[in-house]
Amino acid sequence: MNYPHPIVAREGWPFLAVTVAAALALMWIAGVWWSVPFWLAALFVLQFFRDPPRSIPGGERTVVSPADGRIVAIESARDPYLERDATKVSVFMNVFNVHSNRAPVDGEVRQVWYHAGSFFNAALDKASLENERNALWMKAGTGDDVTCVQVAGLIARRILCYVRAGDKLARGDRFGFIRFGSRVDVYLPVSARVKAALGDKVQGGSSILAVL
């Protein structure tokens, strides 16, 4: 699942092409000043869809962040997908974060669930259970179960997931993307040792969340 085109995510190329084409056309027809808003839009698209390569730390027991953003929850919770007690770690992404989603552990995707839902602010706790979301059940190489949930936000309207049951991922592998601000929840075994702290800023694939 290695991603061959870092720097700009493939999801961003259509948006970038449209905004650059519009800027060039308006610059040709009406002049430079009229095209400025479209060049600014192109710059926003470029920064939003950036997808830089990452150095992946640790070993098979390491859990890395599935997304860039800020840790907004570390709590005991009930995993609603595997129906077990778990530790939930939530990462909130704003529109200025990289929005590629990466596998938190080495392992096999056992099941994928998609749920339509609402679009509450992704920073709110109720977003985990009420918003549109896509969940992966991963069986780690250590034998532990890890659930990784992409959650749409207030502005986000598109969750993209490129894996299915049976796919094998290495931690840090790119598996999906969420457009325009969202959240990713990770449900870990209660025995996992969480290394991140509430409020920490993390990077997908390169920040350690926990050790199994």
* Predicted TM-score (pTM) of this structure: 0.83
Active site residues: 182
* CA 22, 27, 33, 34 torsion-angle sign: negative
* CA 136, 200, 41, 46 torsion-angle sign: negative
Chain mean pLDDT for the chain? 87
What CATH architecture applies to the domain 62-211?
Distorted Sandwich (2.70)
86 neighbors 147 (Cβ within 8 angstroms): yes
Residue type, 29: I
Q: Which helix (H) or strand (E) holds 42?
A: helix 32-48
- List the single range of 10-14, 76-80, 94-98, 154-158 with lowest mean pLDDT: 154-158
- Map out the domains of the chain as residue ranges: 7-51, 62-211
Residue 75 has a pLDDT of 96
